[in-house]
Structure 1
């Protein structure tokens, strides 16, 4: 078995966590845009700018950039907090959209953390 520094292909678990993080990030971007612009807009839809930090993530996730996994695992907690606050303060569709934001954010955090842990363990073993 080649060491972590010699291998060129990601493992199956790394591909799975990358695909989970990538897919959930795209879904969160779409959810936030749809929520703030069409489904249950707050004000004039200016809260849609909350998507801007997420727009940088998909490219780095797809390319297995460790830096992207690390900053996204930290920044995603802002989306968890916003979702928790809005799920308790809004009603109807907004409440369900907020819960969806929380679920997607937790999936992103879990996938990013798994990716980071596996790659750091492989580097330490090498």
Structure 2
């Protein structure tokens, strides 16, 4: 017998702070936007070869549920995985011309935004956990 569990909150509080919600929204929507940019880039806007590079968008779809549900593990691994996209964007941004170069720099900007949002989420939640451990009687 299984019941649907409510999404895990970022901390032991019942509601996430506005900053936690903001970093979650940035991470989620920037990841979704990067997946769409990767698909459009490789399938329609500036395809390379037969479009098989569009498969690079698939790993970006995997963390979306975890990002939305405040899964700390997801934020941690996305903050590491996203550097592959930064690297690809930097290489292609400095080697391609035209729309391919513009799309590569968009990839870099979205990837850095994802990293910053994930890092912010992790830092806020770890700071709250430290504060809760130091002052357990002040927890509401």
Checking the alignment, whether the CA contact within 8 Å between 2:11 and 2:125 is kept in structure 1 is no
Aligned to 1:117: 123
- Cα distance, 1:51 vs. partner? 1.1
Alpha-carbon distance in structure 2 between the residues aligned to 1:54 and 1:27: 10
Task: Please tell me whether residue 105 in structure 1 is matched to residue 111 in structure 2.
Answer: yes
> 1:37-52 residue pairs with structure 2 within 5 A?
37-52=43-58
Higher helix share: 1
- After TM superposition, the runs of 4+ consecutive aligned structure 1 residues lying more than 6 A away are none
Alpha-carbon distance in structure 1 between the residues aligned to 2:103 and 2:91: 12
- Cα distance, 1:67 vs. partner? 0.6
Cα pair distance change 1:103/1:47, threshold 3 Å: same
Alpha-carbon distance in structure 2 between the residues aligned to 1:104 and 1:8: 30
Q: CA-to-partner distance for each residue in 1:43-97, whole Å, 9 max, x for gaps?
A: 0000011112111111111000001100000000000000000001100000000
How many residues matched? 123
Tell me the TM-score normalized by structure 2.
0.86
**Bigger relative contact order, structure 1 or 2, given CA contacts below 8 A and separation 6+?**
1
Q: Which runs of 5+ in 2 are unaligned?
A: 1-9, 133-140
> 1:1-126 residue pairs with structure 2 within 5 A?
6-126=12-132
Q: Which protein is bigger by CA-based radius of gyration?
A: 2
Cα pair distance change 1:38/1:121, threshold 3 Å: same
Q: RMSD in angstroms over aligned alpha carbons?
A: 1.1
Tell me the TM-score normalized by structure 1.
0.95
- Cα distance, 1:6 vs. partner? 3.9
Q: Which runs of 5+ in 1 are unaligned?
A: none
